[in-house]
Structure 1
Amino acid sequence: MGFNPFKEKGIPIEKQTKPWVELNVKPYDSSTVDPYTRLRGILMNGIEAEAVQFYHNFHRHIDIPELRAQLATLRRIEQQEQKMVNWMIPAEESTLQVTIGYEQLAVDLTAALAQAEQDPYVKAALDFALLEDFDHLYRYANLLAMTDEKKAESIVKQFTEIIPGRPTVIEHCHPVDTVRNFTDRSKTSAQTKLHIETIIAAEQQTMNFYMNIGNRLADQNGRGLYQEIAQIEEQHVTHYGSLTDPRASWFEMAVLHEYNECYMYYSCMQSETDDKAKGVWQMCLENELTHLQTAAEIMKKYENKDPEEMFPDSMPEPIVLKPAKEYVRSILSSQLHYTGDKTKMVPLNMSESQDRYQTFLTTSNDDFAPSQKVVQDCINSQGEDYRVETEGPHPADILLSRRDIPDQKSLLEFCKNR
């Protein structure tokens, strides 16, 4: 029998409130930290922030005083956990350095989920956005190369390549082409539901991060880059958020959120190499076991349903963050030319929405895109763009050169002819 969070014993809720001295954790050492310890912290910050936001919305849509009080208690502990996890990041890391971590997480997490995903449509959604986040890492790394003594390779180490993905300048889709089909919760596996919950939380946290810190850069083009990529993150949250079944009740969603927190903290524990961080994951897991069991009792009381029927007898295999260079390159080779077409993700030459897409691109970019300029500026100042190519030259001919960048028109022609 594997790990079943409904059966495990957690910390009683009345013993979960922590004093400030325990919450205000000592940050990791950015010069020695394992990159995946950093990424697990960013990921679990997003998972916790999603839980807090969910419970606020749940609270606003019910009129049962006893239940509102229970949710307030759960929400307060989730807030504590979020602060503890997020405070692991040291102040010495600049906004842009932290951003490199966010995008490395987006790449390696999405790749991990996609490789484990068995639903073809959900996997296609993951692969589609993977190439866009991969390009964001490249754009931010070029900005960092011009503005900071610390280079992106010192942050991502040897684990993640930094080369162009689907260029950000052609990622901008009309909003109607970012809404996907929702999954049927009565037929979808628990593992798929957990994958969707996880990627929504991670992408939403990235969107929120950029919404709030993009104006902290002094460089005008850097500010523009955050604006542009933040708009793509909005697309991604819509893209992934569409996959959830809107017919689920608040009680079902609460149980799923809590189960996913248990699943992700359990996953973090399985691969964590830092004893201090592992202790945080274990403590939070023990808290979340109680939260899940509380949410389960609430569902039984108010809906007369057994939440354990939603899940297998033991958790799915843990999600482990690890290098995914070969997988990313395989998707880059086969799907660089894809775009959104209503609920589909298709090659541009097969899209029924080409005119709408190109009109929206022209309006958005208006002959200028910060994501293009930041790379051109790097080429102008350093003679070539910034890359970390560990697996050979770029698989797409149009993106091979390090001394010039293809414009929007050339990129669209390339995509149409694939």
Structure 2
Amino acid sequence: MTFNPLTEKGIPLDRQLRDWRELDVEPLDPDATDPYTRCRVIVMNGIEIESIMFSHHLARTCPDPEVKRQLAYTRYIEAQQQKVVNWLLPPIASTLETTIAYEQVAVDLTAWIARMEPDPYLTQAYEFGVLEDFDHLYRYANLFEMIERRKAEKVVDGLTEVMPGRPTKAHHRHPYDNVRDPYDRTKVNPLSKLHALTVMSAEQQTMNFYMNVGPQYMEPIARQLYVEIGMIEQEHVTHYESLVDPGETWWERLVNHEYNEVYLYHSFMSQEPDPKVKAIWELHLNMELEQLRVAGDLMRRFDGREPEEVVAPALPAPVTFEPNKEYLRHLLGTQVDLTTLGAGYVRDAHERFEKLQEQIHGGEEPPSERVIDMHRERFGTEYRIETEGPHPVESLRQPEDGDR
């Protein structure tokens, strides 16, 4: 059965306000919760924050006081939704444990979207990015065991492998080479707009999270690793946000934001095993349907267009959290040596890339390499979770004298 968000009725805005008791929801139990439930929570927190910040930016450019008030009202409800979603995260989980979950989101969400993306150029953008988040997960997993004496396997529950991706030290590129070509809003599949907005929002929230939690650590290697990967997450936000057509109007973007929230809440409601969390997804879905209707009215008023002109008439297939091990191993075996040049991708290091590498690393090993060396010194080897045979790149390497 198709679900058209533009014709479905939601909860009227004046009935969406909640009191404090409703906002302070019962958090997840990290020892009993499906890891993908936590992943869905992290995604929707990032989606809600992007919606809130977009509304603030729109309000700052809007001269109409009536519209500012309408945006403020909806934004207040969105802020309540964000608090409910984010307050689901378990308070007993450490920052590093939550970091592992953030990277599991980045790996399995981006991999799934890359598999489903209809535009080959956009697919390549997601495939390029996911191999870097895959390596971040590996670096943080080694830090996790060193600092907390705990294994990332408990967090990802075997759903996501933990092993090297494109080496983090190679992610530092000249800023010019992080800007991609945008899709054409007049020709692109509406699903591609949702994909770009979703991945951008998730990466943006990861960037924000690392910027804020990194300096809270006392261990020098932890502070340094968050600095390094935090800088790369900023690159990733640039990478993904540049995919969005800058010709989209403010009102078109507003509709896309609200439609995407409907899409994701509907997707996650359909697969959520935790009844309490599922009830939140369902409630927020019904709230977002009305917020989408309001956004559509604003688009008609200020753009003179119907929302049906920019979004799909029915929701696409649900966004799904599931293991992507075989797909990621294929990417490791075929794309691990890529870097970027301009809006494209190349296999050979070029002058601009090498110059920035020299400037940022200063001839020394970066924290992402030192954390692995420190783990080897302490435990005799690095930490990995490989569930489907040897690493697809390392298995092709010829043995060196020291390996024989």
TM-score, normalised via structure 2 length: 0.97
User: Residues 200, 334 of structure 1: CA spacing in aligned structure 2 closer, same or farther, 3 A cutoff?
Assistant: same
Q: CA offset at residue 171 of structure 1?
A: 1.0
Matched with 1:378 is 375
Q: Equivalent residues in 2 for 1:357-396 (5 A)? A: 357-366=353-362, 367-396=364-393
Name the CA shift for 1:167/1:390 in 2 (closer, same or farther; >3 Å).
same
Q: Does 1:325 align with 2:321?
A: no
User: Does the residue aligned with 2:382 lie in a helix, a strand or coil?
Assistant: coil
Shift of 1:398: 8.3
> In 2, distance between residues paired with 1:399 and 1:7?
54
| Residue 157 of structure 1: aligned partner | 157
Tell me the residue number matched to 2:348.
Answer: 348
CA separation in 2, counterparts of 1:32 and 1:362?
Answer: 46
**CA separation in 1, counterparts of 2:381 and 2:118?**
40
Counterpart for residue 278 of structure 2: 278
Read off the aligned partner of 1:358 and give its amino acid letter: E
1:44 maps to 44
Q: Equivalents in 2 of 1:399, 1:178: separation in Å?
A: 30
The answer to whether the 8 Å contact 1:210/1:230 transfers is: yes
CA–CA distance in 1 between the matches of 2:267 and 2:215?
A: 34
Q: Deviations over 1:318-369 (max 9, x none)?
A: 11010000001000100000001110022226xxxx0110110111111130
- Per-residue CA distance 1:159-203 (angstroms, 9 max, x = gap): 000000000011111000000001100000110000000000000
Deviation at 1:90, TM superposition (A): 1.5
Alignment check: 8 A CA contact 1:52 1:79 kept: yes
Shift of 1:400: 7.5
In 2, Cα distance between equivalents of 1:224 and 1:69? 43
2:187 alignment counterpart: 187
The answer to whether the 8 A contact 2:182-2:245 is kept is yes
Letter in 1 for 2:326: E
- Cα distance in 1 for partners of 2:201, 2:99 equals 16
CA shift, 1:80, in A, is: 0.4
Cα deviation, residue 24, structure 1: 0.4
- Residues 229-275 of structure 1: CA distance to partner in whole angstroms, max 9, x if unpaired? 01110110000000001011100000000000000101101111110
Q: Who is 1:406 aligned against?
A: none
Please tell me whether the aligned partners of residues 393 and 400 of structure 1 are also in contact (alpha carbons under 8 angstroms). no
Runs of 4+ in 1 over 4 A off after TM superposition: 398-401
Aligned to 1:207, the other structure's residue is in SS state helix
Q: Say which SS state the counterpart of residue 244 (structure 2) adopts.
A: coil
Conserved 8 A contact 1:394-1:400: no
What amino acid is aligned across from residue 378 of structure 2 in structure 1? S
The residue number in structure 2 matching 1:135 is: 135
Aligned residue type for 1:205: Q
- Alpha-carbon contact 1:266-1:282 (below 8 Å) kept: yes
Q: Percent identity?
A: 47
Q: Partners of 1:37 and 1:152 in 2: how far apart?
A: 16
Alpha-carbon distance, 1:312 to partner: 2.7
- In structure 1, runs of 5+ residues without a counterpart are 402-418
- Judge conservation of contact 1:125–1:345 (CA < 8 Å) in 2: no
**Structure 1 residues 197, 296: CA separation in 2 closer, same or farther (over 3 Å shift)?**
same
Contact 1:109 1:321 in 2 (8 A): yes
Alignment of 1:199-348 (within 5 A): 199-348=199-348
Cα distance in 2, alignment partners of residues 83 and 236 from structure 1: 25
Cα separation, 1, equivalents of 2:351 and 2:381 = 34
Q: Offset of 1:149 from its aligned partner?
A: 3.2
Instruction: Give the Cα–Cα distance (whole angstroms) in 2 for the partners of residues 172 and 75 of structure 1.
Output: 36
2:402 aligned residue = none
C-alpha contact 2:43 2:202 (8 A) present in aligned 1: yes
Q: Contact 1:135/1:167 (CA < 8 Å) preserved in 2?
A: yes
Count of residue correspondences:
397
Match of 1:412 in 2: none
Structure 2 residue aligned with 1:33: 33
1:294: Cα distance to partner?
0.3
- Residue 308 of structure 1 deviates from its aligned partner by 1.4
CA distance in 2, matches of 1:85, 1:399: 44
Q: Which residue of 2 aligns with 1:413?
A: none
Determine the C-alpha separation between the residues in 2 that align with 1:397 and 1:25: 46
